[in-house]
A and B are shown apart, each in its own frame.
Chain A
Amino acid sequence: MKFGKRLKQQIEQSLPGWRDKFLSYKELKKLLKLISAAAAPPLSGSPEYGKAEAEFMCLLNNEIEKFNAFFMEQEEDFVIRHKELPHRIQKVIDKWGPDGTHPSEFEYREEMAKIRKDIVNFHGEMVLLMNYSNINYTGLAKILKKYDKRTGGVLRLPFIQKVLGQPFFTTDLISKLVKECETTIDMVFPPSQPTGIFHEAMAVPGEGIFRNTVAALLTMEEIRRGSSTYSQFSLPPLNLPDFDVIQSLQVLSPIQIQIP
């Protein structure tokens, strides 16, 4: 149930539109219980067993469809936004260029600030999508492992192989966009004072992307902290530099500030 709890936390802290797109881990576990209950009187031909098994498989596949659909939709959006970003930046530079008059300097800075914020959030959203993909994969792997354990089946290995090829798990494109986004950000941001990023513990308000990212990192660490059933298929514990500082980024309850 540890993972289930973590997943639930993660879902709660995720972007509102995403909440129902995550893995129905609890549901799958319930079905799994049903299956092992039905299999206990060892009638693998019994109707209840077949029914439960069928439901389980059906849900699994539906979940994957759900992931794929959502993921590709988001990916499409990202591709579009990614392409539009340089245009937008160029427009701002042209309109309120550095050699404009003073009043427009404010505008320029304001617009640039807006752009910077948007780029950073865009970056964050993409990373969160990757996190979405990963946590769903992890959940699937766990469920499949439980299935094999409870029913003695051999579902896990081949199924996971298929999952690995699914669109929602092939996040290469998103990763590439993220890297390109980082380059753009470096261009748009003024040169930085490199040190001291993580000096102060900062309150991270809102329901937004930053909060999500912090939560995702923390969740990842917790999930990988060490399992009771460590096997060759388990991930090693996460060793994150600056982890204590990240933890000190207090995640506050959302502040309801609406911007239309």
Chain B
Amino acid sequence: MEAKPALSIQRSGARQISNFGASGALTSSFPVLEGTYPKFSDSQHLSLERELMHRPPSGVSPLSSTSGVVGHIFSSSSGFSTDLQFSSVQQQEKHPRQPPFISQSTSSVKSAIRPHSVDSQVLQSTASSNFNKENNVPWCTDTLPDFLDFPINTTIQNGQLDGNNSGSIVIASEDLSKPNDWQDWADQLITDDDALTTDWNGLLADTSVADPVPKASYQMSQQSTSFSTQQTHISQQIPGTPGEICNSAGQSSSGNAAPAKQRMRWTPELHEAFVESVNKLGGSERATPKGVLKLMKVESLTIYHVKSHLQKYRTARYKPETTEGVPQVLPSLFAITYILSFLFIILLHHFLYTESSEKRPAATIDELSSLDLKTGIEITEALRLQMEVQKRLHEQLEIQRNLQLRIEEQGKYLQMMFEKQCKSGIDLLKAGPSTGQNSSKELTEAVQNSSAKKNLGVEPSNNETEGQPSNIARKALGETSQLAQEKQSIPEAVQIPEASVDATPDSPSAKRAKINE
């Protein structure tokens, strides 16, 4: 069933939340979310929503304290609902401690992830309908105004919740009305990662608008339809680095409640395809969004993406580079006025003295040229200085980012080792002493290596004064590969290439999953 992976994610999410210190009763709260989508069709949807609406908040009081946590944590996952990494899904199933947050991936998106975001979005719609009808949890309504005070561009208002993807708060109310007997659903359904196929797309694509409540869900499902279609087709159609679809469910800066308002990550390749299509249609002025969309034949793209992109494109072409209202380099301003005034004087001169020999204007112009040249040079020098500073900052940012990534990798590696140690420690109680020894040996080695790594990490920064930051990255590479040789656990995953960091959590988590079976 298509819904299965979603359920497993949510289940692990439930586990995660119980680890967060919420009460164990929470596991019962999740199944509602999971149980809501055994079959994703309109009628079911309607009936489910009606059920949710009519069902009295039986489990509310015991859950109210912690369900807030549940609600928001889950909403965080929905708020994050973007491409999930397949490996991270696996990770979630295997490591209950992993939160059900969804991370972005720049690589191709696996189909396993889709339903989660779908669920969350549908959830939001059901939640919204619930919220409007059941305001029986005081603390929830209290927190709403707090959120309204947040200095973020949300359009969270009481009346607007249904259509809008203001996910997090909406979810909270949803959770509170969960009945307890949905737990059966969760326990019965199993993870079937391969089940997520385009069937899901088909189902979603067929949802039609009936009445207000399902309309909200339609909007969400439509969104998720395009979202899910994007996922399959993105990985299939566009080679290399595809445009990435990100589901900014909560704070879509587009701001309106229209369907398919996801953010598209425009890559140069995608943009090139766009420009090609536009040119084929006769230029940016004549091309229409619909035409471009058709011509581009990128399944993931919606007309809204194309529309907004076309607008930006037109602005960029016909009003180039007036982005900063304040001039950056003061001398340039003076220089330009200087030049213009001189130009004016020259022309005046020219008109007044046309009878004179041809050499005269040339001489004046020569004088002018030298002056102009001087100011020109000054401007250029000022710009060069600006460039240098900018380059410096860029360099430092790259280094800093690489360091941060490395640090986190190290932390993750240690974590994994500890977990492994714990696991084998538990096994040790049951099995013989040999297992424990091996893993403890590994662990101590890991600790030694990591501390060695840390020391090495601190040292290279002193070499920066030589002005060769690339050495640091190379050293990092050397260290990590050294570590990798000793441990077959986290090999190439930790190698961070110098300038561009391709090390998405993809490979490490996959390997981590493998290691922990």
Say whether, besides A72-B246, A210-B328, A116 and B380 are in contact (CB < 8 Å).
Answer: yes
Stretch at the interface among B32-40, B43-51, B333-341, B483-491: B333-341
Given A106-B372, A124-B328, A130-B394, list of 12 further CB < 8 A pairs? A53-B72, A54-B71, A55-B72, A58-B72, A58-B76, A110-B339, A161-B408, A170-B501, A175-B398, A214-B389, A217-B396, A240-B464
Given known A-B contacts A20-B151, A76-B309, A182-B391, A259 and B79 have beta carbons under 8 A apart = no
A interface SS class: helix
Which of A62, A73, A232 lies in contact with B152, CB distance below 8 A?
A62
Which stretch in B2-10, B212-220, B314-322, B425-433 binds the other chain? B314-322
Of chain A, the residue at the smallest CB distance from B391 is A182
> How far is A124 from B329 in the complex, measured between Cα atoms in Å?
12
Option from B267, B326, B389, B410 in Cβ contact (under 8 Å) with A246: B389
Query: Is there contact, CB below 8 Å, between A208 and B326?
Result: yes
B residues 48-71 touching A (CB-CB < 8 Å): 64-69, 71
Least CB distance from A183 to B in Å reads: 12
Q: Are B99 and A159 in contact (CB under 8 A)?
A: yes
| Residue among A73, A165, A167, A254 with most chain B CB within 10 A | A165
Per the bound structure, the CA–CA distance linking A171 and B312 in Å amounts to: 21
Determine whether the beta carbon of B139 is less than 8 Å from that of A235: no
Q: Assess the B389–A69 pair: CB atoms within 8 A.
A: no
Name the CB-closest residue of A to B460.
A236
Interface residue A241 (Cβ < 8 Å from any Cβ of B): yes
**Within the complex, which residue of B139, B405, B501 is in contact with A51, where a contact is CB–CB below 8 Å?**
B139
By a CB distance below 8 angstroms, the chain A residues around B143 are 51, 54-55
Does residue A41 face the partner (Cβ distance < 8 Å to B)? no
A164 touches B392 (CB 8 A): no
- Please give, as numbers and ranges, the residues of chain B lying within 8 Å of A76 by CB-CB distance: 264-266, 309, 312
**Taking the complex as formed, is A249 at the interface, i.e. its CB lies under 8 A from any CB of chain B?**
yes
Q: Is the CB of A79 within 8 A of B450?
A: no
The answer to whether A1 has its CB under 8 Å from any CB of chain B is no
Distance A83 CA – B271 CA, assembled complex (angstroms): 8
A40 interface residue per 8 A CB criterion = no
A100-140 vs B: 1/0 string, CB under 8 Å?
Answer: 00100110011001101110111111010011001001100
**Do the beta carbons of B72 and A178 come within 8 Å of each other?**
no
Taking the complex as formed, is B415 at the interface, i.e. its CB lies under 8 A from any CB of chain A? Answer: yes
Chain B's interface size range is 35 or more
B436 CB within 8 Å of chain A: no
A172 at the interface (CB under 8 A from B): yes
Q: Is A160 an interface residue (CB 8 A)?
A: yes
Interface residues of B (CB under 8 A from A): 19-23, 64-69, 71-73, 75-76, 79-80, 82, 85, 97-99, 101-106, 139, 142-143, 146-147, 150-154, 168-169, 172, 244, 246, 248-253, 263-268, 271-272, 275, 309, 312-313, 316-317, 320-330, 332-333, 335-336, 339, 343, 365, 369, 372, 376, 379-380, 382-394, 396-398, 400-401, 403-405, 407-408, 410-412, 415, 450, 454, 457-458, 461-462, 464-465, 467, 499-502, 504-505, 509
In the complex, which of the residues B313, B329, B333, B411 has the most CB atoms of chain A within 10 Å of its own CB atom?
A: B329
Would you call A36 an interface residue if the criterion is a C-beta within 8 Å of the partner chain's C-beta atoms?
no
User: Which positions 160-194 of chain A face chain B at CB distance < 8 Å?
Assistant: 160-167, 170-173, 175-179, 182, 185, 189-190, 192
A57 touches B73 (CB 8 A): yes
A80-B316, A217-B396, A233-B407 given as contacts; is B379 within 8 A of A113 (CB)?
A: yes
Q: Which residues of B contact A102 (CB under 8 A)?
A: 365
B75 touches A58 (CB 8 A): yes
What separation, in Å, do the CA atoms of A33 and B106 have in the docked complex? Answer: 36
| Cβ–Cβ contact B79 & A185, under 8 A | no
Residue A65 CB within 8 A of the other chain: yes
CB atoms of A257 and B461 under 8 A apart:
no
Give A44 to B22 CA distance when docked, in angstroms: 7
Decide: B504 and A165 in contact? CB cutoff 8 A.
Answer: yes
Which of chain A's residues have a CB closer than 8 A to the CB of B19? 154
Q: Which residue of B lies closest to A64 (CB)?
A: B80
Are B104 and A167 in contact (CB-based, < 8 A)?
yes
Cα-based distance from A177 to B391 in the complex (angstroms): 13
Contact A208 B327, CB 8 Å, known A61-B80, A68-B246: yes
A79 touches B267 (CB 8 A): yes
Partner of A165, one of B105, B328, B450: B105
| B401 CB to nearest chain A CB (Å) | 6
* CB nearest to A196 among chain B residues: B381
Query: Which of the residues A47, A62, A116, A206 comes within 8 Å of B251, measured between beta carbons?
Result: A62
- Report A-chain residues with C-beta under 8 Å of the C-beta of B172: 54
- Which of B99, B326, B408 is close to A254, meaning CB atoms less than 8 Å apart? B326
Are A157 and B412 in contact, CB atoms less than 8 angstroms apart? Answer: yes
Q: Which 6 A-B pairs have the closest CB atoms?
A: A54-B72, A165-B103, A118-B321, A208-B328, A65-B251, A61-B76
Tell me the bound Cα distance from A217 to B392 in angstroms.
Answer: 8
Q: Cα distance A147–B141 when bound, in Å?
A: 25
Q: Does A9 contact B (CB under 8 A)?
A: no
Q: Is the CB of A197 within 8 A of B246?
A: no
B333 near A257 (CB under 8 angstroms)? yes
Check: A229 CB closer than 8 A to any chain B CB.
no
Contact call A134/B326, Cβ cutoff below 8 A: no
